[in-house]
Amino acid sequence: MNYQGGCHCGKVRFNVEIDLASPITCNCSYCVKRGSILAFTPAQNFTLEHGADDLSEYRFNSRTIQHLFCSDCGMESFARGAMPDGTKMVAVNVRCLDGVDLDALQPHQVDGRSR
């Protein structure tokens, strides 16, 4: 399905084609504090409509995931990275998608703490 989404203040907005059938939560040190529900899509299914100049980047641990957040409101609505095979992907914070019924989702937990 196609969704619109963005940060809290609205400076960062995007359009994404993404399947919400298998979202995840993660228990790594970053995700557990952030509280995101994540869904993944190939990079070509994601379009940043506006706010590129308002994004700041954070990387930790292996420094392979580009966590991007609005420099104004601090919201991380998406991150960029790659699948194990090298395919570029975007991890979308489902909580930042417009009109999604979060109670209808059934995310499974990933043990990122052990990786």
Confidence category of residue 55, pLDDT binned at 50, 70, 90? very high
In this prediction, residue 11 carries a pLDDT of 97
Mean pLDDT for 62-68 is 82
pLDDT in tens, 91-109: 999 999 999 999 999 999 9
Taking CA atoms, 63 is separated from 48, 58, 73, in Å, by: 22, 9, 23
In this prediction, residue 30 carries a pLDDT of 85
Confidence category of residue 115, pLDDT binned at 50, 70, 90? confident
In this prediction, residue 8 carries a pLDDT of 96
Number of domains in the chain: 1
CATH code, domain carrying 31: 2.170.150.70
Cα 64 to Cα 80: distance, rounded to the nearest angstrom: 9
In this prediction, residue 91 carries a pLDDT of 96
Domain enclosing residue 6, as ranges: 2-114
